[in-house]
Amino acid sequence: MSTEVKKPLIIILGPTAVGKTTAAMVLARRFGGEIVSADSRQLYRGMNIGTAKPTADEMNLVPHHLIDVADPDQVWSLGIYQREAYRAIGQIHGRGKLPFLVGGTGQYIRSIMEGWLIPPQEPDIALRKAITHWAEIIGSEALYDRLERIDPDAARQIDHRNVRRTIRALEVIFKTGERFSDLRQKQTCRYHLFVMGINRPREVLYDRIDQRVDEMLNQGLVQEVQGLLEAQLSPDLPTLSAIGYAEIIQYLQGQLSLEEAVALIKRNTRIFVRRQANWFKPDDERIKWFTVNTSDEDAQLIDAMDTYVKENL
């Protein structure tokens, strides 16, 4: 009886601003690959600067997928992302190319790595409205606290500021009577995985974050957010709760000075980086970690990753 040979999938993961995009671009060009984004904010059109989206020139050099596929007022669930990622990876394989899944949204990457079977739970609109009303009464932090008590595993995988996902988790729990985290079954991964993680010392990473935020301001982040609001997008949209957008909206609404908003973006990004670390542990044997201490070592990093792929592919 023959066994189907799994096709390869290169995964490059790591925290925000660690250097995933540059490494993936170089390696994809060397190996004739195409990149599938695993970034929950790069899905949305018009959100370019604040999400550090690849430039048009970069996307001309290497084909990219799952970037600019939705408007900011459309919400992509994890199930939609997983389905479309599988579709993109299959199309890349069909062209005889090597797919690279690249990003820092841990939930997206783990759903592919571990073959999650996303619960096909239909939305209960009445229940969702009731939980939303409850959130308005007790506040988003208190709502998240309720989820943390009921299902701590699910809470660890949700940003405490993401009210929409907190409501969705509670909706499923109340609807099914089961923990949201228990409903995520797993199956065998579809692919032969080569998973590479990039890391830098925390103080180096924080410096890179600060530099990136300053560059975003210079590139026109304020104008980008202003344009989204002028397009009649509600500032309360879940997509505009993303770090960088929420703080600039507060500035534009007169709640913060620009200096305060920038400082808050940097602070919130550092907190986010620490949360990202919960998804990908240093002792995870599935991940080959590469640590870079200085920017002078970036070329050596890419060469080391190149060697790892050649030796294992």
* Annotated binding-site residue numbers: 14-21
Binding residues for substrate: 16-21
Half-sphere exposure of 172 toward its Cβ, with a 13 Å CA cutoff?
Answer: 20
Phi-psi region of 14 (alpha: psi -120 to 50; beta: other; left: phi over 0): left
Q: Cβ(189)–Cβ(86) under 8 Å?
A: no
Q: How far is CA 145 from the centre of its chain?
A: 23
Binding residues for ATP: 14-21
Q: Cβ(302)–Cβ(23) under 8 Å?
A: yes
Cα–Cα distances (Å) from 218 to 10, 132, 212, 265, in that order, read 33, 37, 10, 14
Query: CA 142, 143, 146 angle in degrees (round to 5)?
Result: 90
Report helix, strand or coil for 34.
strand
Q: Cβ(151)–Cβ(181) under 8 Å?
A: yes
3-state SS of 207-237 is HHHHHHHHHHHHHCHHHHHHHHHHCCCCCCC
Give me the numbers of helices (H) and strands (E) for the chain, helices first please.
13, 8
Half-sphere exposure of 293 toward its Cβ, with a 13 Å CA cutoff?
Answer: 0
Q: Cβ(117)–Cβ(186) under 8 Å?
A: yes
Sign (positive/negative) of CA torsion 71, 45, 248, 24? positive
Q: Which of 123, 153, 147 is nearest to 134 (CA)?
A: 147
